[in-house]
């Protein structure tokens, strides 16, 4: 009996013909029978042998597949080496044999798939390259195929490769023919002199090259010899600092001109001739100074640099650094080779470039190469002398120009002449050299100081005359009260001059009168105009350059104060001087931050001057509001608190008008139902973008006839303002402190669309301001501050949360231990119905409040209390508001003025307020009370409105009069309490109680001034704040 191995059995099964009567494959067993195995044969084997046979068969199949995969991988690698682009590596048989069978199958299948995809990509690349070449124009196609690399040709079809080789052979043949034509004496053309010359007869060698490959003289010569020398020296510059290929292209372009080409070649050869003569003792040689050539250096290693060129003598003897010589030699040879290819005839001797029969003499260039270095040295030395000469300040005076300058500086020109002279000087200063401009600038400063001193003498004379005028009972103002403003001003001045003439014995009085009476004073206008010119030219502080004018500014301030007694119009005569003062000092205000303005001396002077003459300056701006932004007073926009509300409002509306002119578009209609006005308006307008809100609106009420000529829009604003505060929308709440103003409802989240509504409300209020429409709505002081990006203060919390404000006041006035609990720098706020702990500062939850840091705690907790729980509502409102009115434009107002801008100036009856006022520790007959009411009646409408805001928190006047004035505890009349502390304190107010604390002032003037200061500056905080 013969015993067969399992491998023999497997081979037998693979080659033996299956038995016809064998049952279907896989029907005997529950196992899967591989393809190619005879099932009947397996059925005759024992179970143990059968399993071993199947394992050996599977192992043999994997080995065969592995061999096939390895062969494919080897072929792929060979193709990759040949440039086919397939970089797949063959599988390692040893690695595969160590893996489990199922993992072997998976890896082999993945490798086969990768090979198949790579072959497909390779075929696609070949097809793409052939397609691109086929799409090229014939000329470009021929050039590409002729220049193609062998690796590129291997991936192209055979017909394209054959075409490329044919083109390359043609190109090589043309090159050979061109070279043969260059060296042949005269085979390809006749001579220029005679048509009878046969091949090679009477034609000098090189005639063809010398005549057809020369640079031409038709091209214009652009470079002189000195310029060419400098360009040649550039070959010594370090390649890291100069693009040598661009320099070589420049040289080739320059050589299009024949003479330039000859000189360039000679210079290059002169440099190359010197390179091999570099001395070994180069470092010991002491070179002469050679200007900018000394800055050309060579890196010797370890950050050591030495001069590349040294001139040993003034005769041009030169030594070149050995390290520099290597690179320069290579660059010059490359350049000469390029020139030889482009202009081969230029390298032939001059005799060979000329016809022997020519009568022109043959030019022999016998200039030695050493002459090049002599020319270099002479040029550099002369150039350095010119540079030093240019550094000397030169000034030539022209009599005509000086005459014009003296006329301009004399101060006797009209306004038109001054304007023209100012433009002339500005253009001249821009065109002149810096030294001449500085000279003219010094003349301007001297002239301004001289003119200022002349004006100072006149102002002092006028002040002396004003001191002798008996103004006592202001009879002049009474007598001229029915005159127009300009006539009244002239009348007052004439009466002053008449009395001055009676008391004064000054001989030059009429000169002073002429100076004062002229509103467009020539001298003052000259001072103003030329300080403007100096302000454009002076680099440093203009006030320091014109420090000599400080006495003039002081005298002007004194004179303005005296003239204010006759009315603000009388002081307008010194407007040009005030403008000159602003020009000198305004730069400090415009260039520094608001927080640092009080630190700069010029800013301090300007602020002090404006505060002292606020009425006069604001009166100037009222009369010249249309030129405010172009005037020197525009610097006050950086200190807006010094401007009156009406001045700022006029400027604001003018800027809005400019925005409207730029954004002019079609009108937008609003079709609404009166019963659903808010929701319909929201539906109609919320889809509009910010710029579209600046268009004109017209309103159509459904079911009503009539065209909107402005009345329906005002009615729409009035109705929608009431709807904004409708409790059903849950957007705003009445402030508990005064029960009049509104604040954002922190529980507005119960309305799912509340954020969209807040953005819509922000747009509505901004649109009303944009259209200059007053709204009957009043908000808390903190809300206005949010719009203006002003930090809220503890005092603002009183109207929104009186009890919390009272607890903070107790904390500030008592030790922390008396508060009864441990406080940290954190606060629990409610946001969208969730209570969250917010830290007031970093790691605030672990910082204990003490007597030392409780003021900081009160400040931070007040800000968090008024903003923490309404952050998202507030952001939505401000996003809508700023889409229509820019943030930087609205910020010129304070919170009081913003309320007046939205709601308008109130018109309240002072007699009604007087009849509904209570007193504590005062009586109606007290001098301070009588002075108080007299001062209040003397206030302008704007200051009266601010007073009402100061004591009640809002400018809203009760509909039923001041008898119905609301307070924290219901109806609460206005009351005046005695402040028994120092009379140097400002009045303080408690808006929740409509209470004014008035100190016992000694005079009416002091009471009025202190009350007016408190009313105007209350945004800075007084009393508890």
Q: Which of 296, 265, 442 lies closest to 380, judged by CA?
A: 296
Nearest-5° angle of CA 196, CA 202, CA 203? 100
Q: Helix 399-410 to helix 434-467 angle, to the nearest 10 degrees? A: 30
> Quick one: residue 26, left, alpha or beta (phi over 0 = left, psi -120 to 50 = alpha)?
left
Residue count of the chain, please give it. 1025
Q: For 541-571, b where at least 16 C-beta lie within 10 A, e where not — what string?
A: bbbebbeebeebbebbbebbebbbebbbbbb
Q: Return the closest-CA partner of residue 325 out of 278, 285, 382, 362.
A: 278
CB 632 within 8 A of CB 582: yes
Partners of 989 in the beta sheet? 996
Angle CA 385–388–393, to nearest 5: 135
Neighbouring CB atoms inside 10 A of 603's CB total 24
Rounded to 5°, the CA angle 536-538-543 comes to 105
Residues 6+ apart with CB under 8 A from 754: 729, 730, 731, 748, 873
Q: What's the CA gap between 69 and 511, in Å, rounded?
A: 116
d(CA 556, CA 516): 12
Q: What tokens does 221 get?
A: 């010569």
Residue 261 is a catalytic residue = no
The two structure tokens encoding residue 938: 């003397």
DSSP lists the bridge partners of residue 990 as 995
Query: Cα(first)–Cα(last) distance of the chain, in Å?
Result: 119
> How far is residue 588 CA from its own chain's centroid?
22
Distances 666 to 669, 692, 697, 716 between C-alpha atoms, Å: 10, 9, 9, 20
Residue 401 CB coordination number (10 Å):
12
Please return the burial class of 477, using the count of CB atoms within 10 Å of its CB with bins 0-12, 13-18 and 19+.
Answer: middle
- Widest Cα–Cα separation across the chain: 164
- The tokens for 506 are 């000054």
The residues, any chain, with a CB within 8 Å of residue 397's CB and separated by 6 or more, are none
> Would you tell me how many other CB atoms lie within 10 Å of the CB of residue 227?
13
Which residues are bridge partners to 668 per DSSP? 697
φ/ψ (deg, to 5) at 984: -90, -5
Structure-block tokens of residue 701: 């009420």
Candidate list 267, 559, 992, 1018, residue with the active-site label: 992
Cα–Cα distance measured from residue 293 to residue 123, given in angstroms and rounded to the nearest whole number: 60
Alpha helices in 85-148 (DSSP H): 93-97, 101-135, 138-147
Question: Which helix (H) or strand (E) is 416 found in, with range?
Answer: helix 415-431
198's torsion region: left (phi>0), alpha (psi -120 to 50) or beta? beta
Structure tokens, 524: 């003052």
What gap in Å lies between CA 153 and CA 160, rounded to an integer?
Answer: 8
| Residues designated as active site | 992
């Amino acid at each position: 009996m013969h015993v067969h191995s399992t491998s023999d059995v497997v081979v037998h099964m693979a080659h033996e013909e299956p038995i016809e009567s064998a049952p279907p494959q896989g029907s005997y067993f529950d196992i899967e029978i591989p393809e190619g195995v005879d099932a009947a044969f397996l059925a005759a084997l024992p179970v143990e042998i059968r399993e071993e046979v199947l394992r050996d068969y599977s192992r043999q199949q994997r080995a065969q597949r592995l061999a096939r995969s390895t062969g494919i991988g080897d072929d792929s690698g060979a193709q990759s080496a040949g440039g086919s682009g397939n970089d797949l590596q063959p599988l390692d048989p040893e690695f595969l044999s160590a893996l489990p069978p199922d993992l072997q199958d998976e890896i082999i299948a993945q490798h086969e798939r990768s090979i198949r995809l790579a072959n497909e990509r390779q075929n696609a690349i070949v097809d793409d390259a052939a397609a691109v070449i086929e799409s090229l124009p014939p000329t470009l196609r021929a050039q590409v195929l002729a220049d193609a690399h062998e690796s590129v040709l291997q991936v192209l079809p055979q017909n394209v490769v054959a075409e490329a080789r044919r083109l390359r052979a043609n190109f090589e043949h043309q090159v050979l023919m061109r070279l043969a034509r260059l060296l042949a004496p005269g085979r390809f053309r006749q001579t220029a002199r005679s048509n009878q010359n046969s091949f090679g007869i009477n034609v000098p060698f090189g005639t063809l090259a010398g005549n057809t490959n020369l640079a031409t003289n038709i091209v214009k010569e652009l470079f002189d010899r000195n310029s060419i020398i400098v360009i040649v020296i550039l070959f010594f510059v370090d390649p890291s600092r100069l693009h040598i290929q661009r320099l070589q292209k420049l040289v080739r372009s320059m050589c299009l001109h024949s003479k330039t080409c000859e000189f360039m070649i000679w210079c290059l050869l002169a440099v190359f001739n010197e390179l091999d003569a570099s001395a070994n003792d180069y470092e010991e040689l002491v070179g002469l100074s050679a200007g900018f050539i000394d800055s050309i250096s060579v890196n010797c290693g370890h950050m050591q640099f030495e001069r590349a060129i040294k001139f040993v003598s003034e005769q041009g003897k030169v030594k070149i650094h050995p390290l520099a010589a290597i690179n320069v030699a290579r660059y010059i040879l490359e350049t000469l080779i390029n020139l030889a290819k482009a202009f081969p005839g230029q390298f032939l001797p001059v005799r060979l470039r000329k016809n022997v029969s020519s009568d022109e003499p043959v030019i022999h260039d016998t200039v030695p190469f050493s002459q090049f270095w002599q020319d270099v040295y002479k040029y550099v030395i002369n150039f350095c002398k010119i540079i030093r000469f240019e550094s000397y300040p030169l000034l030539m005076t022209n009599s005509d120009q000086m005459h014009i300058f003296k006329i301009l500086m004399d101060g006797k020109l009209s306004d038109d002449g001054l304007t023209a002279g100012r433009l002339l000087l500005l253009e001249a200063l821009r065109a002149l050299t810096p030294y001449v401009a500085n000279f003219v600038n010094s003349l301007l400063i001297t002239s301004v100081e001289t003119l200022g001193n002349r004006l100072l003498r006149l102002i002092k004379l006028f002040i002396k005359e004003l001191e002798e005028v008996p103004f006592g009972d202001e009879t002049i103002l009474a007598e001229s009260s029915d005159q127009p403003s300009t006539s009244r001003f002239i009348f007052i001045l004439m009466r002053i001059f008449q009395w001055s003439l009676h008391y004064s014995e000054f001989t030059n009085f009429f000169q002073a009168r002429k100076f004062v009476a002229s509103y467009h004073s020539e001298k003052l206008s000259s001072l103003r105009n030329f300080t403007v010119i100096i302000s454009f030219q002076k680099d440093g502080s203009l006030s320091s350059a014109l420090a000599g004018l400080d006495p003039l500014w002081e005298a002007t301030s004194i004179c303005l104060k005296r003239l204010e007694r006759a009315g603000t119009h009388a002081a307008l005569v010194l407007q040009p001087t005030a403008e000159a003062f602003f020009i000198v000092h305004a730069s400090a205000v415009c260039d520094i931050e608001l927080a640092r303005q009080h630190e700069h001396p010029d800013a301090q002077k300007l602020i002090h001057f404006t505060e002292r003459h606020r009425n006069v300056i604001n009166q100037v701006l009222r009369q010249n509001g249309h030129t405010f932004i172009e005037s020197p007073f525009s610097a006050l926009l950086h200190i807006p608190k010094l401007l009156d509300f009406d001045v700022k409002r006029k400027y604001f509306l003018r800027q809005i008008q400019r925005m409207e002119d730029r954004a002019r578009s079609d009108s937008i209609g609003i079709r609404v139902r009166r019963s659903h006005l808010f929701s319909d308006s929201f539906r109609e307008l919320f889809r509009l973008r910010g710029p579209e809100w600046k268009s004109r609106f017209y309103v159509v009420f459904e079911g009503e006839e009539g065209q909107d000529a402005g009345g329906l829009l005002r009615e729409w604003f009035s109705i929608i303002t009431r709807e904004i505060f409708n409790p059903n929308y849950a957007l705003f709440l009445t402030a508990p402190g005064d029960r009049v103003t509104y604040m954002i409802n922190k529980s507005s989240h119960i309305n799912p669309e509340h954020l969209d509504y807040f953005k819509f409300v922000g747009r509505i209020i901004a649109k009303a301001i944009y259209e200059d429409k007053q709204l009957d709505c009043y908000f808390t002081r903190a809300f206005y501050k949010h719009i203006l990006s002003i930090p809220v203060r503890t005092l603002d919390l009183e109207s929104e949360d009186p009890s919390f404000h009272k607890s903070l006041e107790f904390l500030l006035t008592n030790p922390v231990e008396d508060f009864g609990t441990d406080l940290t720098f954190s606060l629990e706020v409610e946001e969208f119905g969730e209570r969250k702990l917010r830290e007031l500062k970093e790691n605030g939850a672990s910082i204990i409040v003490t007597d030392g840091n409780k003021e900081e705690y009160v400040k931070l907790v007040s800000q968090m209390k008024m903003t923490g729980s309404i952050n998202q509502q507030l952001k939505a409102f401000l996003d809508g508001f700023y889409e229509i009115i820019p943030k930087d434009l609205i910020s010129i107002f304070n919170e009081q003025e913003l309320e007046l801008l939205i709601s308008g100036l109130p018109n309240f009856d002072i007699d009604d307020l007087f009849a509904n006022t209570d007193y504590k520790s005062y009586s109606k007959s007290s001098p301070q009370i009588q002075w108080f009411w007299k001062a209040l009646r003397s206030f302008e409408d704007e200051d009266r409105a601010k007073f009402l805001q100061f004591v009640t928190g809002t400018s809203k006047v009760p509909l039923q009069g001041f008898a119905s004035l609301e307070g924290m505890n219901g109806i609460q009349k206005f009351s005046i309490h005695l402040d028994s502390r120092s009379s140097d304190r400002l009045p303080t107010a408690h808006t929740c109680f409509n209470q004014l604390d008035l100190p016992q002032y000694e005079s009416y003037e002091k009471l009025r001034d202190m009350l007016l200061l408190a009313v105007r500056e209350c945004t800075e905080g007084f009393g508890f704040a």
